[in-house]
Amino acid sequence: MSGGSPDDPTKLRLFIDGEAKRLGFSSVAVTRPDAIPQARERLAEALLAGHHGTMEWLAETFERRAAPGGLWPEAKSIVMLGMNYGPDSDPLGILTRRDRAAISVYAQHRDYHDVIKGRLKELAGKIAARAGGGDVKVFVDTAPVMEKPLAQAAGIGWQGKHTNLVSREFGSWLFLGSIFTTFDLWADEAEVDHCGTCRACLDICPTNAFPAPYRLDARRCISYLTIENKGPIPHEFRVAMGNRIYGCDDCLAACPWNKFAAAASEAKLVARDDLKAPRLADLLALDDAAFRALFSGSPVKRIGRDRFIRNVLIAAGNSGDVSLVGACRDLLSDASPLVRGGAVWALSRLTDGVTFGQIADTASRSEADPTVRAEWASASAEQEFAA
């Protein structure tokens, strides 16, 4: 986008700040494409350690991701924007309600990509029209842009020990987007780290996903396991998942800086009532059409019904709710091996050895998928050991 007549840099910056706030952005700041020289080394170390798991796109886009200037060499300034999505209650409260499902705060409303990208495009168009003689490009999450270090360089917040952005004003609850531009805007000062000796985010992690402060091993992270992981949930993490079926907010919610946070004011980012604490029994009954209908416009939709039901079955197995046995048993005949395997594990947790043995005698005989057969063998062995 381009056009309009040139504007004084100071007036242009004031215009950007004002329009950003008018469009619902909570934070706006400017940095340079060369402001995060340390990002390359840190990303390389994470990739070398395998902390990205199966997210191969992180390695494939390394060069563009490690240096923002490589994504668009003509860019002179980056406008970083944050939008508050703070919850109106403690996200950890749902974890004790084992008959209910815990969905990450960010996914309890409309897909933030859609909300933010539209606003970014509108703001970028206004900037181009006001300034003239230059170009702008917008990015939100899906492009190879390291938003968090750029947001720290711009002064919006800092990357905490949990690797997420922390704001003194909004705590852990900011969605980020960026506008790259060829306009030469004055840059803001970087924010400094205010974590101090606090370890709250590290110590609360149920799967010990932080090998060290400021380092995350995605392969152990419940958000990765429930969203990015396409196969069965590794056995070592299943009990620790509890009732978390899409993402995890533990490290975010534990941050003391959340005492300054406020609930989201953007209507499209306010949690839907039906996604705050949905019943596991209702979710287990979802077929593909019902899943798509329930999560229309939600980021949850992108993992598909089978992976979603896999996650719900883990929560069912951890619930101790024997009323879910029937629903889990019905899913033993599901078309998806991923779902059938999850149902085996859930039933092994919800039934006694005799009952599970009876179910296994019937259901396991007709199972041809090797991953599901492995679930039967593992569950049966655990039942025998427990007896």
Q: Half-sphere exposure of 102 toward its Cβ, with a 13 Å CA cutoff?
A: 24
Residue with tokens 């991701």: 65
The span from the CA of 261 to the CA of 172, in Å, is: 8
Q: Which residues does residue 31 pair with via DSSP β-bridges, in sequence order?
A: 78
Q: Of the listed 141, 188, 282, 321, which one is catalytic?
A: 141
- Catalytic annotation present for 184: no
For 367-376, which contacts have Cβ atoms below 8 Å and span 24 or more sequence positions? Answer: 367/340, 369/337, 369/340, 369/341, 371/231, 371/232, 371/337, 371/341, 372/337, 372/340, 372/341, 372/344, 374/341, 375/232, 375/340, 375/341, 375/344, 375/345, 376/344
Active-site residue set:
141
